[in-house]
Amino acid sequence: MKRRIGILTSGGDCPGLNAAIRGVARAAYEMFDAEIIGISNGYAGLIDDEWQEMKKSDFSGILTLGGTILGTSRRPFRNMRVVEDDGVDKVAAMKKTYKNLKLDCLVTLGGNGTHKTANLLSEEGLNVIGLPKTIDNDIYGTDFTFGFHTAVDIATECIDRLHTTASSHGRTMVVEIMGNKAGWLTLYSGVAGGADVILLPEIPYDIKEVAKAVGDRAKSKKAFSIVAVAEGAMSKEEAKMKKKERAEFRSTLPYDCISKRIAAELQELAGVEARAVVPGHIQRGGSPSAYDRVLSTQFGVHAAELIRDEIYGVTVALDGNEIIHNKLSDIAGVPKPVPKDDHVLVTARNMGINLGD
């Protein structure tokens, strides 16, 4: 049995991509006669016919490597069926590259947008398997995505380091954690890092409640506070606005990010000295953690097993301790916010962490 496999990584980079690529390749080489084509820079490479034939040696020494050896780019799903100024029919171009390469399967590693396009290609008749990666952990149908735990470790270390400088200066430190639509990363790193306040996109905050929590700590002789805020957090007033209205409102404010805004508001309302800290893309970089190396490898190997068994139109997932797969059509475009009964969220609330509400 011979299988010709295309692999691409799409969307933002994160730790574990190379470990997953390695898992697919090594398991495929072990289980059947495999030829692997590396497609450059995500769906852009599939559209523009940019690829390379991979050798077994290309998959050595990449387990611990961050980023992606294939390169990546963002191609918004909403534009995939739109013919833009360059006149390129992107869907037709991707199908043409797939067929010209005589691929038996395309493996796509990415987040929500990647999975939506993977499902589109599956509906167009291509054999596609998805692998869920994102530090946001917001892909429906899987307990965890690879990249998430590494980002939690990094964000937690950022919060840990802020404790010492906050304590030394008696300041309130507002640290902005990645996560625009889902607060998983902020929740986990906030609990792990001992944050006093955690603000998530799923729970609109009342700045007066946050100021009271910080002020009460100051009055009780606790010299500092740590506020972990997701980049997509919003006030209760903003939550009532439509997306466009919210964007217009924020454009009138003198702050370029949510952490600076909250720090300024806390200084005014709570009378504390506050500083904003934005770790940014540091949270996405570097070598994957041991957990993510194992998870990425498991996901990659399961993808190879699916190829062996000719099971397509699916994405790999973690369910408890079991590696499973879901239909792309069932998970593509489905949001996965932090639910109000999530056990880590309940843990945070029950131990007195202020959630802004």
Active site residues: 136
Query: To 5 degrees, how large is the angle CA 213–CA 215–CA 218?
Result: 115
15-25 in b/e form (b: 16+ CB < 10 A) is bbbbbbbbbbb
Please give the torsion angle defined by the CA atoms of residues 325, 331, 332 and 335, in that order, rounded to the nearest 10 degrees: -140
- Give the 3-state secondary structure of residue 4: strand
Distance from the Cα of residue 96 to its chain's centroid: 30
Residue 88's nearest CA partner among 43, 58, 147 is 43
Tell me the C-alpha distance between 260 and 282, whole Å. 18
Buried b (16+ CB within 10 A) or exposed e, 262-290: bbbbbbeebebebbbbbbeeebbebbbbe
Q: How far apart are CA 108 and CA 21, in angstroms?
A: 10
